Amino acid sequence: MYRFTNDYSEGAHPRILDAMVRTNLEGNFGYSTDPHSKHAHELIRAAIGRPDADVHILVGGTQTNATCLCAFLRPHEAAIAAASGHICVHETGAIEATGHKCIAMPAAEGGKLTPDTVRAAVAAHPDEHMVKPKLVYVSNTTEVGGVYTTAELEALRAVCDELGLYLYLDGARLSSALAAGGASLTDLGRLCDAFYIGGTKNGALFGEAVCILNPALKPDFRYIIKQHGGMLAKGWLLGIQFEELFRDGLYFEVGEHANGLAMKLKEGISALGYAFGSDSPSNQQFPILPNRVLDQLKDDFHWEVTSKPDAEHTEIRLVTSWATQPEAVEAFLSALANAKE
């Protein structure tokens, strides 16, 4: 059985696990006040080119989004997101649970938000009888594998400046976005009010590093982390993981490995004549395959179903990660080639 189910099916990259084992008994202060955490924060500040950034590492993605939006928004302020965005769909209303509406807008190609969409959301909310749009939420990569270019993020930054909005980026799969040639870490440091660098899906056991650039959003963030249950007692575990990810480029390697195998899948599946639900340059691929073919593959490979375009076809999601082996990809392409339609 080869798994393409998701990018969080295995534990940690071996280098990260080694670091955790090595430091297990050294004794550290709690709640991310330890030297490993401070060092990790330094490494991240250097990587994003913002020595002034506040860095806080939380445990998981939904927790991070909810904590950030709760910290950044006043009660009547809302987030603008693609209707397919993680906060709109896959977080069990965590943002609403902190009191804020997510304004769901139709996504453009690749699951992305555009400046025009942001403008339309703001125009539709003109007065105090409606929520006040205040934050633009994007994720990189998007839910359908899309990757924001530097120019696209610059355009979003410009519309945010024009309309008085914050730009927030969810980097749950950021290593893959970076490896796909999207906006760089220093672009994010330059363009976002805040963003997070995902660990869980990029080689860590868990951990998401929030970088706050806008000084107005920095005060008292640790209070909000604690209030939302995101302050890990053994916080150095987060520091150790990001130290390893950012010490010598492991974070980038992880994305390159995953994307390399994803591109092999994409090319191989295309070469066999199959189409995709989304043209993804990143570690999630969405081929549309005949049900009869999938029946022949399903005992040897695991994936998720994303939609059923017609009675005979299914769109599936294949995900690669740091843990995916080249032979898994080869096995899949070989089985697909041999399957009978």
CB of 249 to a copy of itself, least distance (A): 22
Answer for the pair 18, 317: CB distance below 8 angstroms, yes or no.
Answer: no
Q: Which is nearer to a copy of itself, 3 or 264 (CB)?
A: 3
CB of 224 to a copy of itself, least distance (A): 6
CB of 239 to a copy of itself, least distance (A): 12
What is the SS3 string spanning the chain? CEECCCCCCCCCCHHHHHHHHHCCCCCCCCCCCCHHHHHHHHHHHHHCCCCCCEEEEECCHHHHHHHHHHHHCCCCEEEEEECCCHHHHCCCCHHHHCCCCEEEECCEHHHECCHHHHHHHHHCCCCCCCCEEEEEEEECCCCCCCCCCHHHHHHHHHHHHHHCCEEEEEECCHHHHHHCCCCCHHHHHHHCCEEEEECCCCCCCCCEEEEECCHHHCCCHHHHHHHCCCCCCCCHHHHHHHHHHHHCCHHHHHHHHHHHHHHHHHHHHHHCCCCECCCCCCCEECEEEEHHHHHHHCCCEECEEEEEEECCEEEEEEECCCCCCHHHHHHHHHHHHHCCC
CB of 299 to a copy of itself, least distance (A): 16
CB of 144 to a copy of itself, least distance (A): 16
CB of 3 to a copy of itself, least distance (A): 5
User: To which residue do tokens 């049900």 refer?
Assistant: 291
CB of 1 to a copy of itself, least distance (A): 8
As a whole number of angstroms, the distance between CA 36 and CA 334 comes to 45
Q: Which is nearer to a copy of itself, 3 or 190 (CB)?
A: 3
